[in-house]
A and B are shown apart, each in its own frame.
Chain A
Amino acid sequence: MAWLRCPRWEVRRVRNPNPLRPSYLRPPSWVAVRRARSYAVNLSSIIYETLGEFGPPVRDRNVLLKPNFVSLNEATTANTSPAVVAAAREAFLRLGARRVIVAEGSALERDSMAIADSMHLWDYMEQSREVFVDLNTDEVHRVVLRSRASALRELYLPSTILGADYVVSIPKLKTHRWAGLSLSLKNMFGAVPGNCYGWPKNLLHWAGVSRTILDLASTLRPDFAIVDGVVGMEGDGPLHGKPKACGALVMGDDPVAVDSTCARIAGFVPERLDYLAHAGRLLGNLREESIQQIGETIDSVRIPFLPARKPASPASHMA
Chain B
Amino acid sequence: MAKLQVSLKPSYEAPSPALSFLLAAQNADGGWGYLVGARSAVEPSSWALVALSFAPDADKWLPMAERGLHWLRKAQLPDGSWPSFLGQTRGCWATSLACGACSVYSRLLPETCQEPLAGGLNWLCLSVPAEALWKSRVQFWLHGRHHQARQYGWSWTPNTSSWVEPTAYALLALQATPAKRLPKQATNRLACGDAFLLERQCPGGGWDTGNPPCPGTVRTAQVEPTAWALLALLHDSNRDEIHQGLQWLASRASEPTGLAAKAVAELCLRAYGRRSEQDFDVPATFESSPLPNVQAASWLALAERGSWRGFAARGGK
Contacts and interface: CB of A to CB of B under 8 A. Distances in A.
B125 interface: no
Contacts of B83: 196
Given A110-B292, A156-B88, A202-B161, 9 more contacts: A108-B209, A113-B290, A129-B289, A132-B290, A134-B290, A195-B34, A198-B165, A201-B156, A240-B218
Contacts of A288: none
A206 B212 contact: no
Interface string B164-198: 01100000000000000000000000000000000
A110 B131 contact: no
Contact of A203 (B85, B156, B218): B156
Given A114-B257, A156-B88, A195-B84, A315 B209 contact: no
A315 B140 contact: yes
Interface residues of A, number: 42
Contacts of B256: 72, 74, 114, 117-118
Most buried by B among A72, A110, A203: A110
Contacts of B214: 312, 319
Interface string A213-254: 000000000000000000000001001100000000000000
A289 interface: no
B157 interface: yes
A315 B145 contact: yes
Interface stretch (B17-25, B35-43, B112-120): B35-43
Interface in A178-222: 195-203, 205-206
Contacts of A133: 290
A123 interface: no
B143 interface: yes
A195 B84 CA distance: 7
B211 A195 contact: no
B211 A110 contact: no
B189 to A, nearest CB: 19
A236 B88 CA distance: 37
Contact of A110 (B166, B218, B261): B261
A230 B226 CA distance: 34
B163 interface: yes
Interface string B108-148: 00000000000000000000001100001001101101001
